[in-house]
Amino acid sequence: MKFITVDSYEKLSRMTANMICAEVISKPNAVLGLATGSSPLGTYAKMIEYNKNGDVDFSEVTSVNLDEYVGLDGSNDQSYRYFMDTNLFSQINIDPKKTFVPNGCAEDLAKEGENYDNFIKELGGIDIQLLGIGLDGHIGFNEPDDVFIKETHEVALDPSTIEANARFFEKEEDVPRTAITMGMMSIMQAKKVVLIANGKNKKEIVEKAVYGPITPQVPASILQLHPDVTVIYSEN
Ligand code: F6R
């Protein structure tokens, strides 16, 4: 595991975008595993800039996102599908038909999870997976638990996650209580992983994930077992 500390969010974002774009340049039909939340916004802004400059072409790329709130469809501006369309997909030359986010409105979420995992397998797995990290150590929405869950699954969000995500909603009651998330299998089978975190409040959990014991109580700690992980942290 490489642990890189940088002194600004701008540097973190540039470095991360460079890693993702390098992957696309060397493999134009790369499969990108993408995340939502505030951490990747700077990375996506850089990817948009590189695409507009003509430095990187996303036309053959496929993307698979980590997670979605249960009950929100893509027309809801709080859904992760809407977030991705707005903050990245509509601003680069990716084919919208090759962008995938788990369907939080599927009637049978267990089946949706199974289909999502099979689909990722059929794609040949993820070439590079971008991750943020929650204050409780979650990646995707794999919350602290007694076990690591392998498959894409429905999950009850931790109260601390609901509180953290309330900043994006009008009222805390509006934050969905459940989500569907990629499980640890597809994440751990990604060829490369880059985990980004910024802000003083993330320092303790990032250090726990990188240096602490490997435990499902700190879901991101499983990444210590992955052969190619880069963690990029900025206090600012
Ligand atoms: C979102 C996701 C989450 C976030 C995490 C950090 O797709 O998978 O694990 O990465 O909650 O969120 P931010 O970046 O908003 O602090």
CA of 134 to the centre of ligand 1 (A): 6
Mean pLDDT of 55-80: 97
Residue with CA nearest ligand 1 atom 15:
37
pTM of this structure: 0.97
Q: Contact 73/66 with Cβ under 8 angstroms?
A: no
Residue with CA nearest ligand 1 atom 12:
37
Q: What residue type is 140 in one-letter code?
A: G
Closest by alpha carbon to 86, among 22, 36, 130? 36
Tell me the residue range of the domain where 150 lies: 2-234
pLDDT at 123: 98
Could you tell me which residues come within 8 angstroms of residue 231 by beta carbon, excluding any fewer than 6 positions away?
1, 2, 3, 4, 194, 195, 196, 197, 206, 209, 210, 223
* Strand partners of residue 100: 64
140 in contact with ligand 1, CB cutoff 6 A = yes
Kindly report the CATH number assigned to the domain that includes residue 37.
Answer: 3.40.50.1360
pLDDT tens digits, 35-44: 999 999 999 9
Report the domain count for the chain.
1
43 in contact with ligand 1, CB cutoff 6 A = no
Pocket test for ligand 1, best of 13, 16, 32, 36 (most atoms within 8 A of CB): 36
pLDDT tens digits, 145-196: 999 999 999 999 989 889 988 988 998 999 999 999 999 999 999 999 999 9
pLDDT tens digits, 118-149: 999 999 999 999 999 999 999 999 999 999 99
12 in contact with ligand 1, CB cutoff 6 A = no
